[in-house]
Amino acid sequence: MINIRPLKRAQSLKDMAYGQVKALLRSGKMEAATIFSANQLADSLGVSRTPVREALLQLSSEGFLTALGSKGFQVRIFTEKEIADTFEAREAIEAWVVQRLAARDGFETGPLDEAAARMERAAEANDADAFMEADAAFHLYLVHALDNHLLTAQMENIRDRISLLGRRALAVQGRMKEVLEEHRRIVEALRARDAVSGARRMSDHLEATRKRLLSQQAG
């Protein structure tokens, strides 16, 4: 038999619509209070209604949107319990990851420094989008560095949810600079190979973010 590569299937309109809408959700450009329809988004994207509706239904099943029947769709509004559960899961993964990495010989912290530098520039420019991208790079680098594919998949799924919540936490005055300092403390512990301190600092960082979100929720 001839050794030949299979043809790659072109990305479907539904997948393209899914990617576009998810990018809008991550950017915070779709407000939680706004109800929108598949027809409206289809017109904006310049495609037919069916692939857009399929994409919206997938995002609903993944917990990013709420389907409102004939009214359309709404960006998911997370309950206090869901926020608490999300950060509990993050702590279980990320504090443990930092603890493991701190005990590893020659762990490379350069990418963390690069992410911190990007965050600092974004904070100075008050650019929430750039700040959140750099924040995601910081946290995902730690999980990727452990080279556990199952944990990586779980963390990437959690980060998708965090992308909907993080902007609200950053809306608190001075929170960007606080996050930057919390990240630096984590890196210091990693460089010192202090597993206990590193895990505690990651837990403290996540707890501070959780409290900011719950405060925003209550307000």
**What's the distance, Cα to Cα, between the start and end of the chain in Å?**
67
11 confidence band (pLDDT: 50, 70, 90): low
Measured CA to CA, the distance from residue 67 to residue 52 in angstroms comes to: 13
Examine the pLDDT at 100 and tell me if it is beyond 90: yes
Q: What is the residue whose two structure tokens read 């460089």? A: 191
Residues 165, 26: contact at Cβ < 8 Å? no
Structure tokens at 163: 């992308």
SS3 219: coil
Amino acid residing at 154: Q
pLDDT tens string 49-97: 999 999 999 999 988 899 998 899 998 888 889 889 999 999 999 999 9
Average pLDDT, the chain: 87
- Res 203: pLDDT: 97
All structural domains of the chain, each given as residue ranges with its CATH number in brackets, are 13-75 (1.10.10.10), 80-218 (1.20.120.530)
